[in-house]
Amino acid sequence: MMPSALQLASVWIGTALAAIALAYALIAWLAVRFWRGAPAGSVPARAVPSASAPPAVTVLKPLCGADPGTYECLRSFCLQRYPGLQIVCGVSDALDPAAAVVRRLQREFPALQLELVIDARQHGSSLKVSNLINMMAQARHDHLVVSDSDVRVAPDYLAGLIPEVDQSGVGIVTCAYRGRARGGFWSLLLALFINDWFMPSVFVSALLGSQAFVSGATIALRRTTLAAIGGFAAIADQLADDYKLGELTRRLGLRTVLSRVRVETDVSEPSAADLLRHELRWLRTIRAVRPASYACSFVTFSVPVAALGCLLAGMSTGSLMLLALTGIVRVMLHFANRGADSALMQLTVLPFNDLLAFGLWCWGFASRRVHWRERRYRVARDGSVRPIP
């Protein structure tokens, strides 16, 4: 019996879907291999030391609460081999556990310009940006680096980063990062979400010429650039404050640069609910600010998409071969991103992780509501948020 036109169309569509998934997986693997050229936190080969003294830098660390790795992460900034360094940490509450961590570091590094700002004033919907606005009064230097509290860096991090900020036409320099699970199954899944899905997609976009990626792991810029866009007040209502900073500086005709300097971010998710809220917040924020890109990003979930293509193609021989090849490249991608964690142990959870991430991507279309630090918000199309009572 001859197959119907509908059956033939389904086979062709399914096979094409599986082929596209395989093609993306290969491109992502190549992109990760390309960007893996410099070890995490190291000075990139193209950064040539200047004969003059490097410019002084203020590092801004907005804090809210203390996780198991907060002390080690903040301490890695105190160990920078960089002259003229000031670190400004900010909290909104004197009883915040992060304040005690900063005071401990002040005792440990008495010669370091390590400031603690305690200020509860709120300037918009974003508590993090309000914190940054309050901290700026203590920032002394013209070169600024904003970095989240869970970021860990190597001692030569600033030495590699700041020369890139001073390149002609540069507005913001940002860094790729690698998730480091700090115990527990749910932390491992979030680390895989970062390392095996999110960052490879960033590297692919960067290779294709996109400058849209800006990460709160590192935002390095000059004070004059920040002032030209209206300061942090210009992003006071933004959930995707990092993305918006990049967008506003590019409107000035300045470039966003993805540095070869890389950092690590500690991942500590105590429960499945925390994991789901975290990943959905990222996905729905991306959907809000870049809806077309979000809709097209289904292909980045290579194995689930190839499996879906197989089903549409009626499990044909060609589609099954494409699925098998996609699975092999998917494992290659995982090993290309391996770091201190045991990649072999993680292989057993890759199928579950990929299906979960794809399911959450689908769920991301259902609502614009996100959960962030015990508060619920609705994300608008411009990335701004409004609290939900």
**96-154: pLDDT as tens digits:** 999 999 999 999 999 999 999 999 999 888 889 999 999 999 999 999 999 999 999 99
pLDDT (average), residues 320-324: 94
Taking 80 as the threshold, does the pLDDT of residue 345 lie above it?
A: no
pLDDT of 228: 96
Strands 369-372 vs 255-267: parallel, antiparallel or unpaired: unpaired
Q: Do 203 and 174 touch, CB atoms closer than 8 A?
A: no
Confidence of residue 45 (pLDDT cuts 50, 70, 90): very low
- Residue 48 DSSP class: P
- Residue predicted with more confidence, 384 or 70: 70
Of 27, 38, 37, which is closest to residue 332 (Cα–Cα)?
Answer: 27
Taking 80 as the threshold, does the pLDDT of residue 17 lie above it?
A: yes
Of 128, 81, 72, 121, which is closest to residue 101 (Cα–Cα)?
Answer: 72
- Residue predicted with more confidence, 278 or 383: 278
pLDDT of 344: 67
Tokens 């998409």, located at residue: 305
Residue 244 to residue 298: CA distance in whole angstroms: 24
pLDDT (average), residues 80-85: 94
Token code pair at residue 244: 């918006």
Confidence of residue 48 (pLDDT cuts 50, 70, 90): very low
Q: Do 73 and 148 touch, CB atoms closer than 8 A?
A: no
Task: Give the residues across from 23 on adjacent strands.
Answer: none
Strand ranges, E, within 21-70: 57-62
pLDDT of 127: 87
Q: What CATH code would you report for 57-287? A: 3.90.550.10
The amino acid that residue 123 corresponds to is: H
Token code pair at residue 53: 């003294």
Taking 60 as the threshold, does the pLDDT of residue 340 lie above it?
A: no
Taking 70 as the threshold, does the pLDDT of residue 37 lie above it?
A: no
Taking 80 as the threshold, does the pLDDT of residue 381 lie above it?
A: no
Residue 255 to residue 245: CA distance in whole angstroms: 12
Any alpha helices (H) in the chain, and if so which ranges? 5-35, 70-78, 97-108, 127-135, 157-165, 185-192, 199-207, 223-228, 241-251, 272-289, 291-296, 302-312, 317-336, 343-346, 350-363
pLDDT (average), residues 7-24: 89
* 53: number of Cβ within 10 Å: 8
Which residues make up the CATH 3.90.550.10 domain(s) of the chain? 57-287
pLDDT of 49: 46
What is the torsional sign of CA 141, 132, 238, 206? Answer: positive
For 241-280, the pLDDT digits (tens) are 899 999 999 999 999 999 989 999 988 888 898 899 889 9
Residue 164 to residue 174: CA distance in whole angstroms: 10
Tokens 């390149």, located at residue: 167
Of 202, 282, 198, 241, which is closest to residue 383 (Cα–Cα)?
Answer: 241
pLDDT (average), residues 372-376: 72
Asked whether the whole model's pTM tops 0.95, one would answer no
